[in-house]
Chains A and B, each alone.
Chain A
Amino acid sequence: GQQLNQSPQSMFIQEGEDVSMNCTSSSIFNTWLWYKQDPGEGPVLLIALYKAGELTSNGRLTAQFGITRKDSFLNISASIPSDVGIYFCAGLGSRLTFGEGTQLTVNP
């Protein structure tokens, strides 16, 4: 079946730093999605990418759909304490496949 490798598994950064995380797959996806999950809540969709090479921003977040359609990255600029949470990538092919998540901790 399709699998996603999401890295890093966890990140500990200082407020104001930039963050980068990525997902790779051996399979091609038609859509890449990035979600954020706050503690004790359901994941919330941050960014959706529909075309290879597409670069999309949502405030301080920027995500790209890799040109090979097998990878995607998410950048967060100038991190703030409320960026804390788990970030999931997801690839949509015949079904939606989730990465294992990146746990982000931001120290004030």
Chain B
Amino acid sequence: SQTIHQWPATLVQPVGSPLSLECTVEGTSNPNLYWYRQAAGRGLQLLFYSVGIGQISSEVPQNLSASRPQDRQFILSSKKLLLSDSGFYLCAWSALANEQFFGPGTRLTVL
């Protein structure tokens, strides 16, 4: 069966510091991968998605970037965090453009 992991689970970072969140998927090949941000426990905002290694699509202009160095690894990064980057970050995978399955999330607090 497929599983999706995210780490760290929680992170507290000062403004201006760099960021690296990691997501890995097991039990499937060539998944589509997604990064979402959720503010205040409500709607899901799609940040990036990837259909293959090195292929990244950005949905909204922002202070973040994403990379996919391996088939089942998706990384969310920032060079300098802003207060507004605080939130709950969710990684998801899907087989082609079908149902998405979410990871446990990373709670990021920028102080």
Contacts and interface: CB of A to CB of B under 8 A. Distances in A.
Interface of A: 31, 33, 35, 39-45, 48, 86, 88, 90, 92, 94-96, 98-101, 103
Interface of B: 41-44, 90, 92, 94, 97-105, 107
A25 B41 CA distance: 22
Contact of B98 (A92, A94, A98, A99): A92
A33 B104 contact: no
A84 B107 CA distance: 20
A48 B100 CA distance: 11
Query: Per DSSP, are chain A's interface residues mostly helix, strand or loop, or mixed?
Result: strand
A99 B100 CA distance: 14
Contacts, number: 43
B42 A100 contact: yes
Nearest to A86: B41
Given A41-B105, A42-B90, A48 B43 contact: no
A87 to B, nearest CB: 12
Contacts of A35: 102
Nearest to A99: B43
Nearest to A48: B99
Contacts of B92: 42
A42 B102 contact: yes
Which interface residue of B99, B104, B107 has the most chain A CB atoms within 10 A?
A: B99
B88 to A, nearest CB: 8
A8 B85 CA distance: 28
A40 B90 CA distance: 11
A94 B49 CA distance: 14
A88 B44 contact: yes
A99 B90 CA distance: 16
Given A40-B105, A40-B107, A45 B99 contact: yes
30 contacts: A31-B98, A31-B99, A33-B99, A39-B41, A40-B105, A40-B107, A41-B104, A41-B105, A42-B90, A42-B103, A42-B105, A43-B44, A44-B102, A45-B99, A45-B101, A48-B99, A86-B41, A88-B44, A90-B100, A92-B98, A95-B97, A96-B94, A96-B97, A96-B100, A98-B43, A99-B43, A100-B42, A100-B43, A101-B43, A103-B41
